[in-house]
Structure 1
Amino acid sequence: MDKERQKTCIDYYTDYILEKKYQFCGQHLFISQSSDSRLGTSNFVWEAGLELCRYIEKQNLNFKGLKVIELGAGTGILGILAVLLGGNVTITDQPNVLKQIQHNVTASIPASCRDRVNIRALTWGHDHVQFPSDYDIILGGEIVYYSKTYPLLVSTLQHLSNERTTIYLSSKLWRDFQIHQFYENILPEHFDCELVNRNEEENINVYKVIKKSSRSENQL
């Protein structure tokens, strides 16, 4: 065990809840949750995020050399997988979540690859304009659940993407949230939204989303 990995294990005992090892696409990911309860929903590895990891594995998606951003990363598992698969990845969440993401990046990504990962704070609908609009891939696992954030998420996706960007969103269809409304009514106003994977047992959908051309939007 190298010194950096030893330090990660020490951190686990002091600052983090149980570390779990995941394997996708032949890559090993070591993901911990912070013991800070103030992180709220960001402090979980959600099943919808794991479902999107499985979809990436099943479809053998290629991230090599691509510019990727993960939104609402939480533990950062999707962005970390994208780095391990060759992507140049920006992993984002609220400022208080970034330490947890950094911990998992250090645990999972070899030092030789960390020049391809950037961890930044991003508040939807506010500072998204500080990011570029040329991402090849946008990832979001279990980021659609509070209806009041839907307009903020849409405006953020609009800014970050162009007509060549592929967006993958994975959501558990929680009974108490208007998630169907987001994918069936709100998102299609500006994006083409395709259901590409359905986990019936867990009630989780994976969507492939592409920004509509300005010409198509003008015809609506």
Structure 2
Amino acid sequence: MNAAGEEDDPFPAEDCLFAETFSQETVYNLMGEELKIRQVFGADLGVAAPVWEAALHLCRYLEDQSVEMKGQRIIELGAGTGLVGILAARLGADVMLTDLPLALPQLQANVSANMPSCGWPSAPPTVLPLSWGENHLNFPSDWDLVLCADIIYLPDTYPLLVETLVHLCRQETTVYLSSKMRKEHGTPRFYDDYLPNRFNVELVQRDEKQNNHIYKATVKAEP
């Protein structure tokens, strides 16, 4: 962890398999909240195990832009450790955290560990399995915000993610996506070719040093 209280990526993106299972707990101070996030490496969690830099970028951006959380209905896709969604819940949002089934025990453990001493300001965060393009129709379509941090790295999932986002969004919904722009994974193509087919897309922050971009998107009106 560096001097600013932020943790560098513990493993490169390519190193997703770990020979042994171990865990570490890191404290993050974000938007006036102290979060204790446990990361379980091994157990086949792969990319769901660590807190990625893109998640921290998104939290900082939401704070810098004074994006309102209190009273908002928020769903996070590919939540992993749950850092972003748990922070939103601590700030008073009604939050649903989603990921593949394998990631849910770690996610639920972090939700439980970060319940404020006086209880959640809104409803307790919900943790549910969501497989893009498969069971997304089981989820409501009335979210205020959809949050996505470093989930654009498997080209085969790109059309499924867009399909899922379209279902989740109403005209008033705002989607924030924070991504390390990995050319080897085709990440730029998602924002250039896939997402603009159904969404109005705006690049709102570019971090050249970390090669991380944040995009803001709203669903296009039906013709």
Runs (5+) with no aligned partner, structure 1: 1-14, 216-220
The 3-state SS of whatever aligns with 1:32 is: strand
Report matched runs for 1:159-198 at 5 Å: 159-198=167-206
Report the CA distance between 1:18 and its aligned residue.
1.2
CA offsets per residue over residues 68-109 of structure 1, 9 Å max, x none? 000000000110011011100000001111110111111222
Asked if residue 130 in structure 1 is aligned to residue 142 in structure 2, the reply is: no
Query: Which protein has greater RCO, CA pairs closer than 8 Å, 6+ apart?
Result: 1
Counterpart residue identity of residue 29, structure 1: L
Contact kept, 8 Å, 2:48 with 2:81, in 1: the verdict is: yes
CA RMSD, Structure 1 to Structure 2 (Å): 1.3
Asked if residue 91 in structure 1 is aligned to residue 97 in structure 2, the reply is: yes
Counterpart residue identity of residue 164, structure 1: E
**Whole-Å Cα distance in 2 between the matches of residues 182 and 105 of structure 1?**
30
Contact kept, 8 Å, 1:20 with 1:30, in 2: the verdict is: yes
Report the CA distance between 1:134 and its aligned residue.
0.5
Counterpart residue identity of residue 139, structure 1: L
Asked if residue 106 in structure 1 is aligned to residue 112 in structure 2, the reply is: yes
Runs (5+) with no aligned partner, structure 2: 1-20
Contact kept, 8 Å, 2:24 with 2:40, in 1: the verdict is: no
Aligned residues: 201
Q: Which residue of 2 aligns with 1:56?
A: 62
Asked if residue 207 in structure 1 is aligned to residue 198 in structure 2, the reply is: no
Contact kept, 8 Å, 2:41 with 2:50, in 1: the verdict is: no
Report the CA distance between 1:36 and its aligned residue.
3.6
**Whole-Å Cα distance in 1 between the matches of residues 91 and 220 of structure 2?**
28
The 3-state SS of whatever aligns with 2:128 is: strand
Q: Which residue of 1 aligns with 2:161?
A: 153
Counterpart residue identity of residue 17, structure 1: S
TM-score (norm 2): 0.87
Asked if residue 18 in structure 1 is aligned to residue 18 in structure 2, the reply is: no
**Whole-Å Cα distance in 1 between the matches of residues 88 and 31 of structure 2?**
10
After superposing on structure 2, the runs of 4+ consecutive aligned residues of structure 1 that deviate more than 2 Å are none
The 3-state SS of whatever aligns with 1:37 is: coil
Report the CA distance between 1:16 and its aligned residue.
5.5
The 3-state SS of whatever aligns with 1:115 is: coil
Contact kept, 8 Å, 1:52 with 1:170, in 2: the verdict is: yes
Report the CA distance between 1:35 and its aligned residue.
3.9
Report the CA distance between 1:116 and its aligned residue.
3.1
TM-score (norm 1): 0.88
Report the CA distance between 1:175 and its aligned residue.
2.9
Determine what percentage of the aligned residue pairs are the same residue: 44
